[in-house]
Amino acid sequence: MNVICVGVVRRYSRFLGCWILLGFLALPGDGRAAPQEQQQTRPAGVIHPPGEPSEAAPTPLSVLIEEAEKNDPAILAAGEAVRAASQRPAQASALPNPHFMAQEFTVGSPKPFAGWTNSDFAYLGFGASQELPYPGKRRLRGAVAERETDVRRQNVEMVRRDEIEKLKAAYFRLAYLQQTLAILQHNDALVQEIAQAAEARYRVGRGNQQDLLKAQLQHSKILREISVNRQESGEAEAEAKRILPRPQDSPDIIAEPLTIAPLPVTPAALLARAREQSPDIRERGEIIRKSEAEVDLAQREFRPDFGLSYIWQRTDPAHYRAYYMFTFDVNFPRRKPREAALAEAHSNVERARREHETQTQEALAEVKKQIVLAQASDEQAKIYREGLIPQAQATFEAGTAAYESGREDFESLLSAALDVLNLSLEYQQTLLDHQLALTRIERVTGALLP
């Protein structure tokens, strides 16, 4: 019987089936419980075993991004902020409000119209006045407001990019967790098979109880990892539904499996994109232009403003003639406050330029870091896919034959199985790191990668 098993078994699951069969045959009785057919080891990264359909079709990321751009409250709120700011130039460049007045001057008594017929000092008057800023001030105030609108417009792009980055991160995280959950469940089934094999050998006196306890311990550890995985999946899905937005009790989001590919754009081109198209850098550039417009306005504020007023006064027309009064006044600003305002405006320009340079350097450094991470994860994924995982699987299969013939102990076999599990999980983590690096590059550069 042993010879038959050695000749036939070359994969771990079938090997366990033989040991379970031998165990039941060796036990007293008729061996009523026949061993179930065992699944073969599944390649790393396969979500569902062959023939087992997915519960729902995966939703492409592009569909979710389009939905978020249309419905995300944060993006919509930023757009409303731009529309509100676009109304400010007309307000800032408008003339000050005109003033209208009505006067009554009485003589001899506080009663209305006292002295109306017997004194040329008593009168009823109507007038209007208008402040006139120095030429160019209104235009510059409007220019400052327009620059503020441009800053808001760049802020909308920043908010949109931030929300899309969060959505992508949640989506890729969800894909990673869904992949790793399937791997954990599959390997948990293998560990349980190991435990059954250890129990069968222990019953016939060919094993020890410690082997069985170790397999059960590992089973409990995987159950803990599955529980943590489901918790993190719920958190990632909640974040994605917040951005879309969807009700939190809506159907689960099924992500497409993670993939990996080399960078489609050269590092030099990505760095150039970051310098030219980064929303953060563009916002800083608009802040510089706004600050420069404020300097121009502060310089013009040294100029005086003017005022015009006109009053018509009427006394009893039967006895007195009407009065007409036109007034022109000049408002000279105090120089010291204006000098302080100009100095402040110059400082704001210099600060904006420094912040622009700082933001540029931070963006370029971030893009470089993510390029390095993306390239490294690409290389590491290839090592996992073509080297580590196949080697671990081969080691595990060789260990099964050695364990069967008594040349390898149970702990070594269990360790080989865990190596396959851990390397499969690390491979999925590498795929996630690669996608997150590309997502971060898109966010900083402000352009989608092909």
CB 396 within 8 A of CB 414: no
pLDDT for res 107: 92
Residue ranges of the domains in the chain?
A: 2-445
H/E element, 182: helix 137-203
Residue 4: what residue type?
I
Q: What is the pLDDT along the chain (450 residues), one digit of tens a residue?
A: 333 333 323 333 333 333 333 332 233 333 333 333 333 333 333 333 333 334 678 999 999 999 999 999 999 999 999 999 999 999 999 999 999 999 999 998 889 889 888 888 899 999 999 999 999 999 999 999 999 999 999 999 999 999 999 999 999 999 999 999 999 999 888 888 877 877 777 777 777 778 878 888 888 999 999 999 999 999 999 999 999 999 999 999 999 999 988 888 899 999 999 999 999 999 999 999 999 999 999 999 999 999 999 999 999 888 899 999 999 999 999 999 999 999 999 999 999 999 999 999 999 999 999 999 999 999 999 999 999 999 999 998 888 777 766 677 888 888 888 999 999 999 999 999 999 999 999 999 988 887
> Which DSSP letter does residue 309 get?
E
E-assigned strand segments in 61-151: 99-105, 123-132
Residue 26: what residue type?
A
Using alpha carbons, list the distances in angstroms from residue 282 to 277, 349, 360: 7, 15, 9
- CA max distance for the chain: 140
Nearest one of 234, 178, 215, 181 to 59, comparing CA atoms: 178
Place of tokens 């996608």: 435
DSSP per residue, 211-272: HHHHHHHHHHHHHHHHHHHHHHHHHHHHHHHHHTT--TTSPPPPPPPP-----SS-HHHHHH
**Which residues, in sequence order, are bridge partners of residue 231?**
none
195 CB-side CA count, 13 A: 14
Pick the CATH number of 2-445 from 1.20.1600.10, 3.90.220.20, 1.10.3720.10, 3.40.50.720: 1.20.1600.10
Chain CA centroid to CA 275, Å? 21
